[in-house]
Amino acid sequence: MKIQTEPIGSIPRPRYLLEGMRAFANHELPQPELDKLFEIALTETITQFEATGSPVITDGEQTKPSFATYPVHGLETLAPDGVVIPFADGHTRQLPKITAGPFRYQTYAGGYVQKARTLTRLPVKQAVISASALSLLYPQEGVDGYSRDQFITDLLNEAEKDIRSCFDNGAYNVQIDFTEARLALKLDPSKGLLQSFIDLNNQVLNRFTAEERKRIGVHTCPGGDHDSTHSADIDYAELLPSLFQLNAGSFYLEYAAEKNKLEVLQIIKGTIKPDQRVFIGVTNVLERRVETAAEIRDLILEAAEFIPVEQLGTTDDCGFSPFADDTSTSREMAFAKIKARVEGTALASAALERSQVIINA
HEC per residue, the chain: CCCEECCCCCCCCCHHHHHHHHHHHCCCCCHHHHHHHHHHHHHHHHHHHHHCCCCCECCCCCCCCECCCHHHCCCCCEECCCCEEECCCCCEEECCEECCCCCCCCCCCHHHHHHHHCCCCCCEEEEEECHHHHHCCCCCCCECCECHHHHHHHHHHHHHHHHHHHHHCCCCEEEEECCHHHHHHHHCCCCHHHHHHHHHHHHHHCCCCHHHHCCEEEEECCCCECCECCCCCCCHHHHHHHHCCCCCCEEEECCCCCCCHHHHHHHHHHHCCCCCEEEEECCCCCCCCCCCHHHHHHHHHHHCCCCCHHHEEEECCCCCCCECCCCCCCHHHHHHHHHHHHHHHHHHHHHHHHHHHHHHC
Residue 275 has pLDDT above 80, yes or no: yes
Please name the amino acid found at residue 83.
Answer: V
Tally the domains of the chain.
1
Residue 354, beta-bridge partner list: none
Task: Tell me what pLDDT residue 23 has.
Answer: 96
Task: Tell me what pLDDT residue 326 has.
Answer: 85
Domain region containing 343: 4-360
Tell me the pLDDT band of 224, cut-offs 50, 70 and 90: confident
Q: Name which of 115, 119, 109 is nearest 43 in CA terms.
A: 119
Does residue 146 contact residue 102 with C-beta atoms inside 8 Å? yes
Please name the amino acid found at residue 115.
Answer: K
Tell me the pLDDT band of 354, cut-offs 50, 70 and 90: confident
Distance CA 352, CA 331 (A): 32
Does residue 193 contact residue 201 with C-beta atoms inside 8 Å? no
Task: Tell me what pLDDT residue 357 has.
Answer: 56
Tell me the pLDDT band of 284, cut-offs 50, 70 and 90: very high
Residue 135 has pLDDT above 60, yes or no: yes
Question: pLDDT over 70 for what percent of the chain?
Answer: 98
Residue 217 has pLDDT above 90, yes or no: yes
Does residue 101 contact residue 150 with C-beta atoms inside 8 Å? yes
Distance CA 361, CA 355 (A): 10
Please name the amino acid found at residue 4.
Answer: Q
Residue 361 has pLDDT above 60, yes or no: no
Q: What CATH number does residue 127 fall under?
A: 3.20.20.210
Which range is least confidently modeled, 41-50, 51-60, 65-74, 332-341? 65-74
Residue 132 has pLDDT above 60, yes or no: yes
- Return the exposure string of 273-307: e unless at least 16 CB atoms fall within 10 Å of the residue's CB, then b: eeebbbbbbbbbbbeeebbebebbbbbbeebbebb
Does residue 291 contact residue 314 with C-beta atoms inside 8 Å? no
Average model confidence (pLDDT) across the chain: 95
Task: Tell me what pLDDT residue 359 has.
Answer: 58
- Residues sharing a CB contact under 8 Å with residue 278, sequence separation 6 or more, in sequence order: 250, 251, 253, 268, 272, 307, 311, 312, 313
Residue 231 has pLDDT above 60, yes or no: yes
What's the length of the chain? 361
Task: Tell me what pLDDT residue 88 has.
Answer: 87
Residue 55, beta-bridge partner list: none
Distance of CA 289 to the CA centre of its chain: 21
* N-terminal to C-terminal alpha carbon distance within the chain: 16
Tell me the pLDDT band of 75, cut-offs 50, 70 and 90: very high
Distance CA 121, CA 117 (A): 7
Calculate Rg over the CA atoms of the chain.
20
| Mean predicted confidence (pLDDT) in 44-62 | 97
